[in-house]
Structure 1
Amino acid sequence: MSAKRPAEPSPESIARSNRQRLAAEEGARAMVDVGKQAVDVRKNMARLRELRQAKEAADAALQASLPPPVPTKRKKKVTP
């Protein structure tokens, strides 16, 4: 009986496996980048929300410290 040699991979299959490996690595890096960007966006949203709430609180305090507006009387229309 003759023993079979293990089949050597063809250059095409080696190239295909290398492309698949590179694509998987790039995909993993892309997912990490997307995750980092999402965290950055959420941090920025929280910062802007805090600024907006502080401004709204300052505006409300200013409105509360001002005297209430005096209602003006409506002028009567003069008909000729």
Structure 2
Amino acid sequence: MATKPQQLSPTSLARADRQRIAAEEGARAMAEVEREALAVRKNMERLRALREARDAEAARASAAPAQPAANAIKRIKRVVR
């Protein structure tokens, strides 16, 4: 069987071109979304590390015994006559 040579009409060429452009733009958009997601994850990781360091510092500060004030002033109740 012999096949006929396929002749492309101008509308089918235009459709193929639109599909090609849409595929390229879609690939660019997906790459941009992935870059933004990576940036968000890196920022979340950085903030988590800062929060954990702050919480650890607060836990260390609260675990240390409180030092009594050296010059605590005692109030004396005086009776007025």
Aligned amino acid, residue 60 of structure 2:
A
CA shift, 1:13, in A, is 0.8
CA shift, 1:66, in A, is 4.3
Aligned-residue Cα RMSD (Å) equals: 2.1
What secondary structure is seen at the aligned counterpart in 2 of 1:8? coil
Aligned amino acid, residue 40 of structure 2:
V
- TM-score for both structures, normalised by structure 2: 0.69
Aligned amino acid, residue 65 of structure 1:
A
% of aligned pairs identical?
A: 54
CA distance in structure 2 between the partners assigned to 1:66 and 1:16 by the alignment: 77
Gaps of 5+ in 1: 68-80
Aligned amino acid, residue 45 of structure 2:
A
- Partner residue of 1:64? 63
* Structure 1 residue ranges, 4+ long, deviating more than 3 angstroms after superposition: 5-8
Gaps of 5+ in 2: 67-81
What secondary structure is seen at the aligned counterpart in 2 of 1:16? helix
